[in-house]
Amino acid sequence: MTVRVGIIGCGGIANGKHMPALSQVKEVEMVAFCDLIVERAEEAKAKYGDESAKVYTDYKEMLTDSTLDVVHVCTPNSSHSELTIAALESDCHVMCEKPMAKTSEEARTMIEAANRTGKKLTIGYQNRFRTDSRYLHDVCADGELGNIYFGKAHAVRRRAVPTWGVFLDEEAQGGGPLIDIGTHALDLTLWMMDNYKPKFVVGKAYHELSQTENAANAWGPWDPSKFTVEDSAFGYIVMENGASIFLESSWALNSLDVKEAKTSLYGSKGGADMDNGLTINGENRGLLYEKQIELETGGVDFYDGATQTPELLEAHSWIQAILNDTEPVVKPEQALVVTEILEALYESSNTGKPVYIKGE
Ligand SMILES: NC(=O)c1ccc[n+]([C@@H]2O[C@H](COP(=O)([O-])OP(=O)(O)OC[C@H]3O[C@@H](n4cnc5c(N)ncnc54)[C@H](O)[C@@H]3O)[C@@H](O)[C@H]2O)c1
């Protein structure tokens, strides 16, 4: 069976992840490419579509094509909810990029639309498909760490502010590193802890290094006057069962301790961190141990191993969920909880008070 996919937003992530990955899934045909900038949609068609593929600048026009099965939403955060709901209502399954939406209200309406239409919805948290993440998830699910009562979600860069597109624009994105990369780290941490019941959060966002002129940066200096989102944000999340999570996120921080899309876990039977590969630690027969997990298959150019990038696994797994009518790995209800927590952290930063998620 062929799955006919349309892409909305043919920019960085569509070219860096979605289209190259989908082009390797044998059941997929990319038949529609939409971008406000027509050249981007045309380039995408030239690279990933065939002669009959269509190019659009208006997503509504694209969604009138009743032969589309799946839509990937790869536009800035402010349009995720509108585009996702429109695609679901046009009878398409949707993979929407992270973060799910700018606000939890928008995220909830996306889930309502998926339930109403009976279509599948997933969010692009590809870090779950990394070898270390999948291994650690199995370790946690098997209870090897015991009760995981504390976690750390790491999303810290020293100087890597995304200066293209609208990443620095509060209106378009809803926030800076917290919503952009903190979202990946928090998703991983909640998934490992299998705990989606936050009680309250307290956090603080900073606009410090964003105001530096001619700053050192992986993608060139930023314009401080256009940097309207935070440059760093930190938070503490307390869950209903008493477990807690420290979340650190930054695009620019004077720190040598940088790590992104990583989690550290602390349980009653053992701990784990993703610092240098994957390490599991604990105590056995009165002594402490440290176990380094080798993430490479090692030594042999193993065909499957060589091609199993997280991006490919994400695309394969998503298309298989559609073909087999199973639940996608990233459930929208889980992504909603990530959105609720991030939104509450911003609110806590603005009000200077802890924020109770269920409005206590
Ligand atoms: N999963 C990841 O690790 C990851 C990495 C980078 C970006 N992202 C997410 O992907 C999304 C896009 O980021 P990007 O880096 O690709 O940005 P980008 O600016 O490179 O690309 C976005 C594209 O969408 C187009 N666009 C905007 N509004 C549109 C609309 N209404 N209809 C059609 N096209 C529209 C723009 O013209 C642009 O070409 C963001 O939500 C971002 O958070 C995810």
CATH code for the domain of 54: 3.40.50.720
Same domain, 65 and 115: yes
Whether residue 332 is contained in a domain is answered as no
Tokens of 139: 């370790």
Using DSSP bridges, classify how beta strands 198-206 and 232-239 pair: parallel, antiparallel or unpaired.
Answer: antiparallel
Same domain, 193 and 276: yes
Same domain, 110 and 135: no
Of 124, 159, 175, the position where a domain reaches its end is 124
Residue 187 Cα, ligand 1 centroid: separation in angstroms?
A: 20
Hey, which residues does 70 pair with through a beta bridge? 5, 93
CA 11 to CA 76: how far, in whole Å?
10
Same domain, 9 and 50: yes
* Residue of minimum CA distance from atom 36 in ligand 1: 9
pLDDT category of residue 359 using cuts at 50, 70 and 90: low
Enumerate residues lining ligand 1, CB below 6 A: 8-14, 34-37, 40, 59, 74-77, 79, 97-98, 124, 126, 164-165, 180
**Look-up: residue for tokens 């997503």?**
59
Same domain, 107 and 77: yes
| Number of domains making up the chain | 2
CA distances 33 to 19, 219, 255, 314, Å, are 10, 27, 41, 20
Same domain, 89 and 136: no
CA distances 190 to 151, 168, 243, 333, Å, are 9, 27, 11, 12
Same domain, 209 and 288: yes
Same domain, 164 and 279: yes
Whether residue 317 is contained in a domain is answered as no
DSSP, collapsed to helix, strand or coil, labels residue 36 as coil
Whether residue 325 is contained in a domain is answered as no
* Residue of minimum CA distance from atom 1 in ligand 1: 124
Q: 117-131, pLDDT tens digit by residue?
A: 999 999 999 999 999
- Average pLDDT of the chain? 95
Q: 174-204, pLDDT tens digit by residue?
A: 999 999 999 999 999 999 999 999 999 999 9
Same domain, 229 and 345: yes
* Residue of minimum CA distance from atom 4 in ligand 1: 13
221 phi and psi angles, rounded to 5 deg: -60, 150
Same domain, 139 and 109: no
CA 181 to ligand 1: nearest atom: 3
pLDDT the model gives residue 336:
98
Residue 35 Cα, ligand 1 centroid: separation in angstroms?
A: 10
Whether residue 77 is contained in a domain is answered as yes
CA 16 to CA 164: how far, in whole Å?
14
Residue 101 Cα, ligand 1 centroid: separation in angstroms?
A: 13
Of 67, 101, 124, the position where a domain reaches its end is 124
What is the average pLDDT across 202-227?
Answer: 96
Same domain, 36 and 72: yes
Q: Which of 39, 45, 74, 318 to mutate to test the pocket of ligand 1 (most atoms within 8 A of CB)?
A: 74
Using DSSP bridges, classify how beta strands 28-34 and 54-56 pair: parallel, antiparallel or unpaired.
Answer: parallel
Structural domain for 163, as ranges: 131-309+338-356
Residue 15 Cα, ligand 1 centroid: separation in angstroms?
A: 10
Residue 347 Cα, ligand 1 centroid: separation in angstroms?
A: 25
Whether residue 322 is contained in a domain is answered as no
Same domain, 11 and 155: no
Q: What percent of the chain has pLDDT over 70?
A: 96
Q: pTM to 2 decimals? A: 0.96
Whether residue 319 is contained in a domain is answered as no
CA 114 to CA 280: how far, in whole Å?
38
Of 86, 104, 124, the position where a domain reaches its end is 124
CATH of the domain at 235: 3.30.360.10
For residues 186 and 339, is the Cβ–Cβ distance under 8 A? no
pLDDT the model gives residue 305:
46
Whether residue 323 is contained in a domain is answered as no
